[in-house]
Chains A and B, each alone.
Chain A
Amino acid sequence: MPTVGVNRDKLFEKLGRVYTDEEFDQLCFEYGIELDDVTSEKEMLRKELASAMAKGGDNKLAAEAAAASEEVIYKIDIPANRYDMLCVEGIARALNIFRGTQKAPEYRLADMAGKPLQQMVVKAETALVRPFVVCAVLRGVTFDAARYNSFIDLQDKLHQNLCRQRTLVAIGTHDLAKVQGPFTYEALPPEEIKFVPLKQTREFNAKELMQYYLDNDQKLKKFVPIIHNSVVYPVIYDANRTVLSLPPIINGQHSAISLETKDVFIECTATDLTKAKVVLNTVVTMFSEYCSQPFTVEPVEVTDAFGVKTAYPDLSCRRLDLTTDYVNSLLGTELPPPDIATLLNKMQVTATLGSDGKALSVSVPPTRSDILHACDVAEDVAIAHGYNNIATRIPPTATQGRELPLNQVTELLRGELAMAGFTEVLTWALVSRAENFDSLRRPDDGATAVEIGNPATAEFEVCRSSLLSSALKTLGANKENALPIKLFEVSDAILLDPSVSVGARNERRLIAVYCAKESGFEVVHGLLNRAMEVLGVPYRDEPGAASAPVSYHWAPSADPALFPGRQAAVYASTCPDKPVGVFGIVHPEVLAAFELPYPVSALELNIEPFVFDQFYQSKLEPLSN
């Protein structure tokens, strides 16, 4: 969720009234934005300074902080789909319209009859790197410092969010007076692109510029990889071969806008045309407010590589047809149709009722790209009406409650294990590769554990294929406890399994560990016997076991994680080929790997073969096969 910092007093000026923090918070709540923090530039710099001081001091920052403004700043959280509210202009406009103090503006293209349009010609090579460009011109803009900063901030916010860090769309804005159309959008080998980039005084070629940014510019270097490996770089030229921009990295110094700029040329290059149009619309609808003819935008004709000409921006309103019955039935309201139309006006949406009094023709302005479907319109009605004014109903849906049998058995077994004197722990499914294999002396055959490609920390390299490492880690973190320590967990191990569509499956297991001055091998053995007893599974050699639908037994095993000669595998008669569990004394080298000074015995058991009803019918209900 993007956060936008706006000057409180400027905002209140636009809203035409002063609010207390509480009143403004309430207004935000109703609209679905959130007043996250009340601060000031000075306050923010002071915090930044404090953390910089902790790291060794920063004199420049200290000077800035001292000189910074104490004007109050509201940090406002904006829903991720309301790009039109990423600047103070948009927030004020949306809230004014919501409160009924302003009519939704009508965004228009300038009447260009008899006047030539600015031209942008796209060369075919751009398809290799960044195929789309859309443009517009804002005429007669009056900037002041606040407006200018807001204009720059909005581009920043859009770059961070909708533009996905400039990968999808990048915005360039230029002083039209300093350049000369027609413009061309080209893609050229980096060495051939030469210009003085913004905030530089000398000429670079694009190749050296990328290296310069990688070496020297913390902010811009993260965008370099978007085009770095491309054989051609995108570039926009004017008629005099002046470079306007090297998208998505930097504009040229020559066409930079300033407070004196009157006519602004805006270009958005993109890999996603839909988003480029939304970005362009957002910028022009917000800042055409300051044009000599407010809310009027001059179109630019873009000629694509196939010679097809399209004028941008497209400020037409999209039409959506729905009915007031749909809105009422979705919300559970009985709002009169005219009220619905009025409520929608508060959300910048113009609605016209049809002759039958129920058909609703909705006109979605270019600022509301978030409206995709009639349900979005219905939501706007609900917001304008007030979520908290909606009459509630308990859904009439009559269904039967039911636990998943696997989880029900898990719940019952947990209780029994605690009754048996073991204490429950809750550990992570994500572990390091070493914990899952090397530390347990178990080889990684490459066909056992699910592997994560991009873990943020090395702690989480694989999904555990056994619960043993987690239990030993817990013992290691609780060494100061009085002995014996008896722990258990009933949770999932995750195993690669090509027979399942996603290639892996969970397996519900019981892990129990006993840690004392003596190994406690008999204790975990006894716990196995007890667990089986409560699961209703007889030991193979018990009288009557032969005729039982399922029985179990154990036999000496050779798990490298356990001590030779003091371990056994557990078998169920229903799946005789593969053990369902193992128990034994943990190998001393494993204990050393987990920094455990005392002997430990462990039991790990797959309980899924024992998830059956009283008639021994399996109740496993896997999600996918």
Chain B
Amino acid sequence: MADLESQLLQALNEKECIADSGDFAKSQGVDHMAVVGVIRSLQASEMIVAEDIDHFRYALTEESQTYLTAGSPEAQVFAAVGPDGITLAELKVKVPGEAGDVGFKQAMQQKWLALDKSGGEPRVVRKVDSIVDSTQALLADIAAGKEVPKADAENLAKKRKLIKPEQWKTYKLTKGAKFALERKKPATDLTFDMLAKGTWRTQEFKDYNFNALGVLPAGGHLHPLLKVRTQFRKIFTQMGFEEMPTNQYVESSFWNFDALFQPQQHPARDAHDTFFLTKPAATPSDRGVPADYLQRVQEVHEVGGYGSAGYGYSWKLAEAEKNLLRTHTTAVSSRMLYRLANQPGGFKPAKYFSIDRVFRNEAVDRTHLAEFHQVEGLVCDRGLTLGDLIGVLQQFFSRLGLKKLRFKPAFNPYTEPSMEIFSYSEQLGKWMEVGNSGMFRPEMLRPMGLPEDVNVIAWGLSLERPTMILYGIDNIRDLFGHKVSLSMVRRNPICRLGL
């Protein structure tokens, strides 16, 4: 190929013009198509200019090739008939197939033969003694590339279908703008070979297509919600918070509700809102809850104490023993606060956080799932105030980039005061609720045995909502669950919360 290319360039250089690439191919003893390949490539490099030359000729069909030697069908039939004539049946045997039929018909038309019906079975007999096979002669001329009369050629092509038309192109070649005797093919890439041989110094490199994307790396990807979780965990730990062991979805109603001073008739304790379990159905109260604490919780619900009036209803142990899938991670907070109050060495201040799943018995739709991630933070110390809560919330939310906050009075069974947290969204031009907060009620803390001057400030939010806003996802099922799109998981940026 390279040879052919240089031969062609050489020839062109000598003669300034190659009149017909077909002739050039013949002179080189190669197929014309090989030359076409070289022409195209040189043309693309503007080294030569090619002008089309259209060609036309007739060629023999496969069938008519055989007539060059065996004679045309009519000649074959004439020969087979012989001077004595033969029956039609005998003729069919001697010249079988199409050649026999066509040959007989042609010979009859030419009046070379006749059908003698005089004696019994008809016989084919010669009408002339000898013939000239002009069809064969024509075919031979065409095969040899000689001109034949147009009428003859058309008769052979259209009526007898013994020849077919053929069209092809060859090229007239002249020098192009970038003509050179030798061409340097630009490389697409720097290779080991070039480095080893040092050819990279002289090698011309093909222009890189800077409009295309590169090849994506083949590595794995982290899920966006968990990327956000990672950043929240960092913010909490940087603020000095310790992570709570939330890896326990099954919880007793006691720790999920009763310990939080949530009355047993509270709507959240309805089967409509909470997944209650048939297996394990209950946590016996003598497992994990000291009897004296249990007693204090019952009393504070029924008749109050610690300065509270209580709810004034008949508290049922069986209701507290019912197992459920925790409805909030505050169930874990209540266990941790009890532990804090009763640890060896007595109470020590603590800051806790958790981010884990909670469960609600809700129908799944665009904005609701039966399970979602709750982010929770709490500070437990002596003398904490509502001002401390607002302060820590401003610190926390400013790390999330939410610097403009305001607080709305709210109700929550286990916090008082309670505040809904609103943040002003510059993008949307409105205030949006971003979380809930409050100070745990004394009816929750005092029965645990926490000292009287100890207050707990706490807040919570869902992990899904900020993630959906950050990553522009409007259907929660696209984020969490098996119907998530893997391309969504692959194509999302790092989470910059906390920067």
- A residues sitting closer than 8 Å to B (CB atoms) are 1, 29-32, 34, 79-82, 161, 164, 168, 272-275, 318, 322, 329-333, 370, 372-376, 378-379, 382-383, 387-388, 390-404, 406-407, 411, 414-415, 417-430, 446, 449-457, 459-460, 463, 470, 473-474, 476-478, 481, 485-488, 492, 494, 496, 498, 501-506, 508, 621-625
**Cβ contacts A to B, 13 pairs, < 8 Å:** A32-B411, A272-B313, A274-B311, A318-B309, A322-B307, A372-B443, A397-B379, A399-B351, A425-B489, A456-B363, A506-B248, A622-B245, A624-B335
Decide: A451 and B245 in contact? CB cutoff 8 A.
no
Decide: B249 and A330 in contact? CB cutoff 8 A.
no
Query: Which residue of the partner chain A has the closest CB to B369?
Result: A428
Decide: B408 and A452 in contact? CB cutoff 8 A.
no
Decide: B280 and A502 in contact? CB cutoff 8 A.
yes
Decide: A504 and B482 in contact? CB cutoff 8 A.
no
Decide: A457 and B363 in contact? CB cutoff 8 A.
yes
B230 CB contacts on chain A under 8 angstroms: 411
Chain A proximity mask over B192-224: 1 for CB below 8 Å, otherwise 0: 000000000000000000000000001111110
Q: Would you list the 8 A-B pairs with minimal beta carbon distance, nearest first?
A: A503-B280, A332-B387, A32-B409, A332-B385, A79-B411, A274-B312, A401-B237, A379-B417
The interface stretch among B16-24, B127-135, B391-399 is B391-399
Extra pairs beyond A402-B237, A454-B271, A477-B482 (20, CB < 8 Å): A32-B411, A373-B416, A375-B417, A379-B417, A387-B406, A396-B381, A397-B351, A399-B350, A399-B351, A401-B240, A424-B221, A429-B371, A451-B278, A455-B361, A459-B364, A488-B220, A496-B280, A503-B282, A623-B244, A623-B245
B104 at the A interface (CB under 8 A): no
A423 CB contacts on chain B under 8 angstroms: 220-221, 486, 489-490
Min Cβ gap B427→A in Å is 20
A420 CB contacts on chain B under 8 angstroms: 220
Decide: A333 and B480 in contact? CB cutoff 8 A.
no
B126 at the A interface (CB under 8 A): no
Query: Which residue of the partner chain A has the closest CB to B302?
Result: A274
A399 CB contacts on chain B under 8 angstroms: 240-242, 349-351
The complex places the Cα of A450 from the Cα of B281 at a distance, in Å, of 9
A329 CB contacts on chain B under 8 angstroms: 383, 385
B370 CB contacts on chain A under 8 angstroms: 428, 430, 456-457, 459-460
The complex places the Cα of A494 from the Cα of B481 at a distance, in Å, of 17
The complex places the Cα of A415 from the Cα of B349 at a distance, in Å, of 33
A392-B387, A502-B251 given as contacts; is B236 within 8 A of A418 (CB)? no
The complex places the Cα of A156 from the Cα of B310 at a distance, in Å, of 26
Query: Which residue of the partner chain A has the closest CB to B480?
Result: A426
- B335-380 residues at the A interface, CB under 8 angstroms: 335, 349-351, 357, 359, 361-364, 369-371, 379-380
The complex places the Cα of A82 from the Cα of B284 at a distance, in Å, of 35
Decide: A79 and B275 in contact? CB cutoff 8 A.
no
Decide: B249 and A463 in contact? CB cutoff 8 A.
yes
The complex places the Cα of A428 from the Cα of B220 at a distance, in Å, of 21
B325 at the A interface (CB under 8 A): yes
Decide: A401 and B482 in contact? CB cutoff 8 A.
no
B383 CB contacts on chain A under 8 angstroms: 329
Decide: A426 and B226 in contact? CB cutoff 8 A.
yes
- B222-246 residues at the A interface, CB under 8 angstroms: 222-223, 225-226, 230, 233, 236-246
A394-B388, A496-B280 given as contacts; is B245 within 8 A of A419 (CB)? no
Decide: B409 and A373 in contact? CB cutoff 8 A.
no
The complex places the Cα of A418 from the Cα of B406 at a distance, in Å, of 40
Decide: A331 and B237 in contact? CB cutoff 8 A.
no
A375-B442, A502-B251 given as contacts; is B277 within 8 A of A453 (CB)? yes
A329-B385, A425-B223 given as contacts; is B283 within 8 A of A452 (CB)? no
The complex places the Cα of A487 from the Cα of B411 at a distance, in Å, of 43
Decide: A387 and B419 in contact? CB cutoff 8 A.
yes
B408 contacts which of A29, A322, A372, A508 (Cβ < 8 Å)?
A: A29
B390 CB contacts on chain A under 8 angstroms: 387, 390, 392
B265 at the A interface (CB under 8 A): yes
B486 CB contacts on chain A under 8 angstroms: 423, 425, 478, 481, 485, 487
B222 contacts which of A375, A418, A494 (Cβ < 8 Å)?
A: A418
The complex places the Cα of A466 from the Cα of B196 at a distance, in Å, of 55
Chain A proximity mask over B262-306: 1 for CB below 8 Å, otherwise 0: 000101000110011111111110011000000000000000101
